[in-house]
Amino acid sequence: MNVLVLGSGGREHSICLNISKSNKLKSLWCIPGNAGTKSIAKSSNIDLENHEEVINFCKKKKINIVIPGSEEYLEAGIADSLRLSDILVFGPSKESTKLESSKIFTKKICDISNIKTAKWKLFNNAEEAINKIKSFKFPLVLKLDSLAAGKGVLVANSLKESKVFLKKVKDGLIGKKTSKIIIEEKLVGEEASFFFIADGQTASYLGSAKDYKRVGDKNTGLNTGGMGCISPSPKENNKSINTVLKKFILPTLKTMNNLGYPFKGILYAGLMFTKKGIYLIEYNVRLGDPECQSIFSRLKSDFLNIALMTEKHKLEKVKIRLDKKKSLCIVMASKGYPEKYKTGFQIQGLNNIKDSSVNIYHAGTAENNKKQTITNGGRVLNIVIREKTIESAISKGYNLIKRIKCSNIFFRNDIGS
């Protein structure tokens, strides 16, 4: 089979690495790709925002299935465009993508489906929220309705930091200026990410992770797309998996079907485990980044086969197998991320790391004209270690990072703690 993966991050590198081992694979493309995907997948200079150009490429290269990595491609309707051209694609329709692209949509789905979620109020824009927020009790949570690259949520402890966040939204520095704003109660407990694959009717469990969103040690500083994670989540067990499936995932799939929006693809539930039970924080409709890297380092099953069977409504015939070992992902990022940062700095030491329990996934990397690997984004590398215990993974991971040299890179020192 000929496969096209869309994206350029660590998530896409980990997807490509799994697919490259499939006995079903004939050729693999990753567009735009990065310095890491270059060794296992071909690339091409096409405009991914131009769906006709993507479709023509797929027809020319006889692509059998397309796997979009980012939510941005899905929100733009790439899955609809490909399916209308009779090209298989692993991912939800534009309407189904609203489970991620619109927080309001998800809240209303929760209301219809009797799914537990935080109490919430809606405001038409950041300006209105600024004027009304002084009447709220803190702490609380601010959320943009629309996508914001993982930066559209603030857990606010004070009026001052709320206004700073909302002003950034108003000025277009976070997400869309016109985005509606949700203010909701802060849930107290432990967060976890549970991933399922859905084929419109049924769902299968793919794995779990605990994400570290804040940029600084001890969960301080700004929210990011993710500075690291561990898999599985400490909250994962047979009981919690079954509860999330029955109380959250299946009711959501049923409601989506009733509305005429059958969901196919990844349904990733961001959850809060509280003393009063499990609550849904949000849904995402694609693999998380960096959660994907941690989970895929444990995934024993052929992801290409999983994607094909999902698209063909035969998911019940697939057995998803995960390594019982624990995995730890440490993100190395450009200094200044998630705000302003510089790129183009050489990365050294990657070729000296050869360990079967370690995967180094490229995220924001590129090759310069000297064939050197350089930084090319905010999150640069994902160092993933698989060991029997998280403690041994932490020890190995942080010792290994010392061998990677770059003058403009940083990482959190407490992932897994």
39-43, 145-149, 223-227, range with the lowest pLDDT: 145-149
Residue 343 confidence (pLDDT)? 97
Nearest CA to 206 out of 240, 156, 241, 180 is that of 241
- For domain 188-317, the CATH class is alpha beta
Q: Is the pTM of this model over 0.85?
A: yes
- For 93-112, give one letter per residue: b (16+ CB within 10 A) or e: bbbbbbbbbbbebbbebbee
Residue 417 confidence (pLDDT)? 87
Residue 222 confidence (pLDDT)? 87
CATH for 2-89 is 3.40.50.20
Q: Which pLDDT band holds residue 305 (cuts at 50, 70, 90)? A: very high
Residue 129 confidence (pLDDT)? 93
CA dist., res. 411 & res. 332, Å (int): 5
Residue 59 confidence (pLDDT)? 98
pLDDT over threshold 80, residue 151 = no
Residue 154 confidence (pLDDT)? 86
Q: Which pLDDT band holds residue 40 (cuts at 50, 70, 90)? A: very high
Domain ranges within the chain, ordered by starting residue: 2-89, 119-185, 188-317, 326-410
Per-residue pLDDT tens for 1-34? 999 999 999 999 999 999 999 999 999 999 999 9
- β-pairing verdict for 379-387 and 214-216: unpaired
Tell me how crowded residue 77 is: count the other CB atoms within 10 A of its CB: 15
Nearest CA to 410 out of 216, 257, 246 is that of 216
Q: Give the relative orientation of helices 250-258 and 103-113 as an angle to the nearest 10 degrees.
A: 100
Residue 153 confidence (pLDDT)? 87
**Overall average pLDDT of the 65-90 stretch:** 97
**Overall average pLDDT of the 195-208 stretch:** 95
Per-residue pLDDT tens for 80-114? 999 999 999 999 999 999 999 999 999 999 999 99
**Quick one: which H or E segment has residue 67?**
strand 65-68
Q: DSSP string of 229-288?
A: EEES-TT-SHHHHHHHIIIIIHHHHHHHHHTT---EEEEEEEEEEETTEEEEEEEESS--
pLDDT over threshold 80, residue 150 = no
Count Cα atoms within 13 angstroms, Cβ side, for 154.
Answer: 24
CATH homologous superfamily of 326-410 equals Phosphoribosylglycinamide synthetase, C-terminal domain (3.90.600.10)
Residue 86 confidence (pLDDT)? 97
pLDDT over threshold 80, residue 172 = yes
Q: What mean pLDDT is reported for the chain? A: 95
Per-residue pLDDT tens for 324-382? 999 999 999 999 999 999 999 999 999 888 888 999 999 999 999 999 999 999 999 99
Number of H helices, E strands in the chain: 13, 21
Residue 260 confidence (pLDDT)? 95
Fold classified for 119-185: Dna Ligase; domain 1 (3.30.1490)
β-partners of residue 228 are: 330
pLDDT over threshold 90, residue 223 = no
Residue 413 confidence (pLDDT)? 97
Residue 264 confidence (pLDDT)? 96
Residue 134 confidence (pLDDT)? 87
Residue 147 confidence (pLDDT)? 80
114 within 8 A of 147, measured Cβ to Cβ: no
